[in-house]
Structure 1
């Protein structure tokens, strides 16, 4: 089978456009990301938020020479641990300015001494000196997990000086605006980081600055000063399996990354491919993962991968979040139990009853009362984050005109319960009715035990981070067996040991590893390490 890009970070910037597939819904999102208004793009893991932001960045660069785009990844936020109450705000500021100066330098644009001075409080008056100072601050923050020491931020400018400097840069270089794309806006299990991010997001508003960011559904904390309705354009990246272009759209995504052999298989076995595409529930990464793991696209292979991935693997990954973040373990475990032992059996029984009555209706949906316990809603939010369920809408009226939210269970999770998923899929999909669903009222017995679930504090997050860093490199699935073997041969056995080694040290320590392979190994390891830590 073909090897697929499962993460945007692995794709070269020059290959983004050749791999992109854009439908009318995506085009609406891209137009918002390229507008003068700040935009938040919400989507579950693996839905393609980062990829769409990269496409928007490239389209802006190609279509408007008076606009400078700056892509700022925040995936190292999980490593920041200092006694500065605004640690994340200051790290973001330094990192954003560092990436801005780096982009301006690459474009050959001028940063005057006066502007450079605005970007630094330590009298650095050249672009190079300011960039070096910012780089040091960023590095100290990202190494702070090791010793929790204080980082000297005295050289950082305040937000008004930043906006003044950016205005000057635009005026001196005949630019209309600077557009920032913030990826992995903040660690999902650290609400305070998220609140500080949205403070900066709002503070940066100016006629010369536009900010865009990717966020996750359900687990994003905006803080008291940020309002979705007034402070941004809010877009959801969701691909419903009922969309008329759904199957063609996902086929095109896969074909873009397929070799000739796989293309021929997909064309010859289109019905089987469609079953896999529907099972992914609109998530490109899940579709690519199941295709990558299948030996052959035939009925046996498709039935087998649907059962193994959607019965076992997707649930294991959700449970693993509780292993990584001890403070959330109880609510994560309770949410899985609630869905597996209460919701899904009710949905199955609902479908069975409709069949017995001879009614051509099936459902993968359920409804939760708006006054259900907050702990129940928190468990559902985390299931939304991992993509096992999707929140369709809020304030939907069900029996007795009560208000609540409708959710969709991943199609593959429901289909995997059948003995022959592929043969059952056609009628099941054809009969799906979004207005038919079991209901869970505000005092439903299935909520029992949820009242004991409590949110845990930042200290428990830090304990979880230290535990994660001590895990063996074997948990990093993107590393090949050969890479793991070579790393272990030179005493690099844990995630932290790998993170602390530079490309140069890998070249020096590992026989047969040159610059290209060391960079590939380091980049792959870093991306996988940060995603593993981030959930």
Structure 2
């Protein structure tokens, strides 16, 4: 009797966990649903006007703050309104697949140019297809754009798999130039009666490959034209633009991270929650407000916090109070946030010491601000700011890099510098969830959600908590900040900062590949898998143990379905979780 695999339905718990993992991301929303899922405040409308208006723009914000959502909403809006410009959207988050080329191919930079322009062409083809259909215009798109879209897709696949071009692909790649791309963009816009073009380049920070990043901004600058306005999304603080691109002159920066100090902050965040996750209305009003503040201006975090609260509420005993659930949710969220930050040490091992010092700095910021805030419980102001002596930041590149890394992941929010006496202070607000976790907005020895909300809504103290870097990370840490450079991979000689060749053997010095490192990690440890999936994958002899081996399989679904009770549906969710993890981890 044959052992038949049954595609057992997902349990309710599995469905909930998978939904939580995907629904928080704008990439997984259908374009038609963006209008109903977007909160149009004055801020949002300003951001969308910047996206659809003329001129090059850099859309700046940490992970999860809504950059992708805004770009896709703007794209959808342009498609619906014939008075708007022609919009092209492309996402560059798979750039990390080209990282191995830097160590294998002398023409890696040229291949990167081809990859970027190929992705823009795919986005152009898709946009022209959708816009012409929406306007009921009959266009021979392949004739208009000259190049075969499927062959361009093949070029992208070849590059992402580090294979050599075929003769056909090599000939096609030579035709993918910046000048031709600009001509095709204008030609497509004219075909549907639009004069201007906005080019949305999402996930353009390319944080793991600074070698590519500077060249990306060369492409960005070259694409600018009277009728073409490129818009790229980047991270605050850590995006390295390269020597040829001066961000302040080449493009306007649009900061899309909602500040907790904005008067309409609470209303904005709660509107986001209600549109993307209607169940938020079932939460107590005070809990809703405190979770919104704990999200620190990041919509994805707010949805995650709400889902987590609902999950704990369903699984907890009847005696558990809303306050107890809130404390548990925020504690878990803070732990996960710090884990996410510290994971940067694996992505960027040369910055491991700087990142570790950043964790010390952040925790000390939270501790000192929380203490100052508690002292104001019976006053009429709040304290959420820390001011760091600017000399200790501006004149110390490693300290500056440390703070910028904290900004990138949304742990601290930078505000304009202020003066006090003869000193200037750079102001930051540390993550409000961490401050809530330290009971910053309550009296010592007691806790009241009502008081916490009242304190969070007060006016700010005139002066921040003033600190120097040495008091935040300790004089020893301050003196030890530096890069963690790997030894020469050929002979093991200790590496000298700035050196391009080994002082021992003369070999060219290269860094360990982040891509290769993640490919060697355990498949069962991928976030987004259910506990059952982790267990059966770990115990299976027929499924590869590492992510790299799994990705290399020609038919991953068949391999997964050799596991008992792993049918098509569950196998699909595993494959999707792995791909999502790679894109998130290496973005």
Question: What's the secondary structure of 2:117's corresponding residue?
Answer: helix
- How has the CA–CA distance of structure 1 residues 524 and 14 changed in structure 2, closer, same or farther, with 3 Å as cutoff? farther
Question: What's the secondary structure of 1:439's corresponding residue?
Answer: strand
Alignment of 1:451-530 (within 5 A): 451-455=479-483, 462-481=512-531, 483-484=533-534, 489=540, 490-501=542-553, 505-506=556-557, 510=561, 521-530=574-583
Preserved CA contact (<8 Å) 1:365 1:409: yes
2:31 is aligned to 13
Preserved CA contact (<8 Å) 2:561 2:571: no
Question: What value does the CA root-mean-square deviation take over the aligned residues?
Answer: 3.3
Deviation string 1:242-274 (CA, Å, 9 cap, x unpaired) is 333322222222222335xx35523xx101211
1:527 Cα offset (Å) = 2.0
Preserved CA contact (<8 Å) 1:46 1:283: yes
- How has the CA–CA distance of structure 1 residues 423 and 139 changed in structure 2, closer, same or farther, with 3 Å as cutoff? same
- How has the CA–CA distance of structure 1 residues 351 and 533 changed in structure 2, closer, same or farther, with 3 Å as cutoff? same
Inter-partner Cα distance in structure 1 for 2:39 and 2:390: 37
Q: Which of the residues 397, 403, 423 maps onto 1:402?
A: 423
2:52 is aligned to 34
Alignment of 1:298-447 (within 5 A): 298-310=322-334, 312-340=335-363, 342-351=364-373, 359-372=379-392, 373-393=396-416, 395-397=417-419, 399-418=420-439, 420=447, 422=449, 425-431=452-458, 433=460, 435-441=462-468, 446=474
Question: What's the secondary structure of 2:79's corresponding residue?
Answer: helix
- How has the CA–CA distance of structure 1 residues 516 and 101 changed in structure 2, closer, same or farther, with 3 Å as cutoff? farther
Preserved CA contact (<8 Å) 2:354 2:398: yes
1:277 is aligned to 292
TM-score of the superposed pair, with normalisation by structure 1: 0.85
1:533 equivalent to 2:581? Answer no
Question: What's the secondary structure of 1:210's corresponding residue?
Answer: strand
- How has the CA–CA distance of structure 1 residues 31 and 160 changed in structure 2, closer, same or farther, with 3 Å as cutoff? same
1:413 Cα offset (Å) = 0.6
Inter-partner Cα distance in structure 1 for 2:24 and 2:181: 36
Inter-partner Cα distance in structure 2 for 1:258 and 1:157: 42
Preserved CA contact (<8 Å) 1:365 1:437: yes
1:230 Cα offset (Å) = 3.0
Inter-partner Cα distance in structure 1 for 2:48 and 2:274: 22
- How has the CA–CA distance of structure 1 residues 88 and 304 changed in structure 2, closer, same or farther, with 3 Å as cutoff? same
Preserved CA contact (<8 Å) 1:472 1:495: yes
1:60 equivalent to 2:57? Answer no
Deviation string 1:489-515 (CA, Å, 9 cap, x unpaired) is 44143222343346x652586268888
1:195 Cα offset (Å) = 1.4
Preserved CA contact (<8 Å) 1:38 1:232: yes
1:408 Cα offset (Å) = 0.5
Inter-partner Cα distance in structure 2 for 1:518 and 1:176: 46
Question: What's the secondary structure of 2:513's corresponding residue?
Answer: helix
1:226 is aligned to 245
Inter-partner Cα distance in structure 2 for 1:179 and 1:365: 38
- How has the CA–CA distance of structure 1 residues 359 and 474 changed in structure 2, closer, same or farther, with 3 Å as cutoff? same
Inter-partner Cα distance in structure 1 for 2:405 and 2:461: 22
Inter-partner Cα distance in structure 1 for 2:352 and 2:523: 23
1:191 Cα offset (Å) = 2.3
1:51 Cα offset (Å) = 0.5
Preserved CA contact (<8 Å) 1:306 1:421: no
Inter-partner Cα distance in structure 2 for 1:286 and 1:405: 26
Q: How many residues align?
A: 509
1:217 Cα offset (Å) = 0.5
TM-score of the superposed pair, with normalisation by structure 2: 0.78
Structure 1: which 5+ residue stretches go unaligned?
117-125
2:503 is aligned to none
Q: Which of the residues 174, 180, 201 maps onto 1:155?
A: 174
1:192 Cα offset (Å) = 2.6
Preserved CA contact (<8 Å) 1:365 1:407: yes
Preserved CA contact (<8 Å) 1:49 1:214: yes
1:293 Cα offset (Å) = 1.6
Inter-partner Cα distance in structure 2 for 1:478 and 1:53: 25
Mean Cα displacement is larger for which, 23-32 or 197-206?
197-206
Preserved CA contact (<8 Å) 2:95 2:206: yes
2:266 is aligned to 247
1:477 Cα offset (Å) = 2.0
Inter-partner Cα distance in structure 1 for 2:115 and 2:326: 46
- How has the CA–CA distance of structure 1 residues 442 and 522 changed in structure 2, closer, same or farther, with 3 Å as cutoff? closer
1:42 Cα offset (Å) = 0.6
Inter-partner Cα distance in structure 2 for 1:168 and 1:175: 10
Question: What's the secondary structure of 1:41's corresponding residue?
Answer: strand
- How has the CA–CA distance of structure 1 residues 447 and 29 changed in structure 2, closer, same or farther, with 3 Å as cutoff? farther
2:305 is aligned to 290
1:109 equivalent to 2:152? Answer no
Preserved CA contact (<8 Å) 1:44 1:387: yes
Question: What's the secondary structure of 1:44's corresponding residue?
Answer: coil
1:94 Cα offset (Å) = 2.0
- How has the CA–CA distance of structure 1 residues 19 and 198 changed in structure 2, closer, same or farther, with 3 Å as cutoff? same
- How has the CA–CA distance of structure 1 residues 174 and 518 changed in structure 2, closer, same or farther, with 3 Å as cutoff? farther
- How has the CA–CA distance of structure 1 residues 72 and 523 changed in structure 2, closer, same or farther, with 3 Å as cutoff? farther
1:119 is aligned to none
Mean Cα displacement is larger for which, 162-171 or 38-47?
162-171
- How has the CA–CA distance of structure 1 residues 277 and 336 changed in structure 2, closer, same or farther, with 3 Å as cutoff? same
Inter-partner Cα distance in structure 2 for 1:417 and 1:89: 48
1:211 is aligned to 230
Q: Which of the residues 123, 128, 147 maps onto 1:127?
A: 147
